[in-house]
């Protein structure tokens, strides 16, 4: 089934699409339960998905990583613990409470000299051109108000030969799996999320943004439009999530 037909089946989610501009404040509201909810609602798959990013790191040692929309720094912590080739990393986010939790986790692991977090906008990254070997974003690109600007910035800060690794939710290609997944995603997940986080809006926002965001080949085209080459997909867990990989020529 094509992405277009899959999106036609989820047309109901297009109603009352939430504004991405409000996302930082929303994430700050749920920051104290964010990591717990990721583990519970994904059945722990989110950890495995982030660990899988290591497979797509570019060649070389002493890699410098930028994690955009870093949240509580799980991507940076995963990469630096899973690969000895990662030397240091920076993370940016607009949600300060999320960053505070991330800094605490980094300090607990004694990695404060190698990992740094700062307030920053994905659409105007506070770094010079060609500063990093890898730019990553996990479950954050769909929250960027202007996706083309976010991708252009991830491209700009990469050195020649660097890679962008983008982990994002997608929809299963199999019709039966997709139907079961959407039942969970639209009805059960928002209720569980509301109970645990105390914020009913946040997990209604989640399914609406996922169902209305381009995925698969449509998202690959957005990466190519931003200048990336050798764009490819690593489809995870029956299509529930996808890692998109692109290189800077």
Q: Which residues contact 215 (CB under 8 A, 6 or more apart)?
A: 3, 168, 169, 170, 171, 242
- Reference 93, options 140, 132, 30, 131; nearest CA is 140
Instruction: Answer whether 3's CB lies under 8 Å from 214's CB.
Output: yes
Prediction pTM value: 0.89
Query: How far is residue 90's CA from residue 112's CA, in Å, rounded to a whole number?
Result: 11
In the β-sheet with 86-93, what is the strand arrangement from edge to edge?
115-119, 86-93, 63-68, 132-138, 158-169, 241-247, 229-236
Query: How far is residue 143's CA from residue 21's CA, in Å, rounded to a whole number?
Result: 8
- pLDDT score at 192: 80
Three-class SS of 198-227? CCHHHHHHHHHHHHCCCCCHHHHHHHHHCC
**H or E element in which residue 31 lies:** helix 31-42
Q: Domain count of the chain?
A: 1
Q: How far is CA 98 from CA 31, 90, 91, 95, in A?
A: 5, 15, 11, 5
Instruction: Answer whether 51's CB lies under 8 Å from 74's CB.
Output: no
Tell me the CATH number at 229: 3.40.50.150
DSSP strands (E only) in the chain: 63-68, 86-93, 115-119, 132-138, 158-169, 229-236, 241-247
- pLDDT score at 44: 86
Count Cβ atoms below 10 Å from residue 45 Cβ, excluding itself: 15
- Token code pair at residue 62: 């002493």
- Token code pair at residue 165: 């690794």
- pLDDT score at 28: 83
Q: Which domain holds residue 194?
A: 3-247
- Token code pair at residue 5: 């037909």
Determine the 3-state secondary structure of 17 from DSSP. Answer: coil
- pLDDT score at 6: 42
Instruction: Answer whether 63's CB lies under 8 Å from 90's CB.
Output: no
**Cα-Cα-Cα-Cα dihedral of 146, 149, 150, 154, to 10°?**
170
The per-residue pLDDT string of the chain (249 residues; one tens digit each, 9 = 90 and over) reads 444 434 444 444 444 556 777 788 888 888 888 888 788 778 889 999 999 999 999 999 999 999 999 999 999 999 999 999 999 999 999 999 999 999 999 999 999 999 999 999 999 999 999 999 999 999 999 999 999 999 999 999 999 999 999 999 999 999 999 999 999 888 888 888 777 777 767 677 777 888 899 999 999 999 999 999 999 999 999 999 999 999 999
């Amino acid at each position: 089934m094509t992405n277009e037909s899959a999106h036609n089946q989820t047309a109901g989610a297009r109603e009352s699409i939430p504004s991405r501009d409000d996302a930082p404040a929303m994430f700050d509201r749920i920051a104290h339960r964010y990591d717990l909810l990721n583990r519970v609602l994904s059945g722990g798959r989110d950890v495995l998905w982030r660990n899988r990013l290591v497979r797509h790191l570019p060649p070389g040692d002493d890699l410098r990583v930028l994690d955009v929309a870093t949240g509580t720094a799980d991507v940076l912590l995963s990469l630096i613990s899973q690969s000895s080739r990662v030397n240091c990393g920076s993370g940016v986010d607009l949600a300060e409470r999320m960053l505070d939790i991330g800094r605490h986790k980094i300090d607990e692991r004694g990695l404060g000299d190698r990992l740094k977090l700062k307030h920053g906008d994905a659409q105007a990254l506070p770094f010079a051109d060609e500063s990093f070997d890898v730019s990553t974003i996990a479950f954050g690109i769909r929250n960027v108000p202007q996706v083309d600007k976010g991708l252009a910035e991830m491209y700009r800060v990469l050195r020649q030969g660097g890679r962008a690794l983008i982990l994002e939710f997608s929809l299963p290609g199999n019709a039966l799996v997709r139907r079961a997944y959407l039942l969970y995603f639209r009805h059960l997940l928002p209720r569980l999320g509301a109970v645990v986080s105390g914020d009913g809006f946040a997990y209604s926002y989640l399914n609406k943004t996922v169902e209305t965001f381009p995925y698969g080949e449509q998202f690959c085209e957005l990466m190519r439009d931003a200048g990336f080459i050798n764009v490819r997909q690593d489809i995870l867990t029956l299509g529930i999530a996808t890692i998109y990989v692109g290189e800077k020529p």
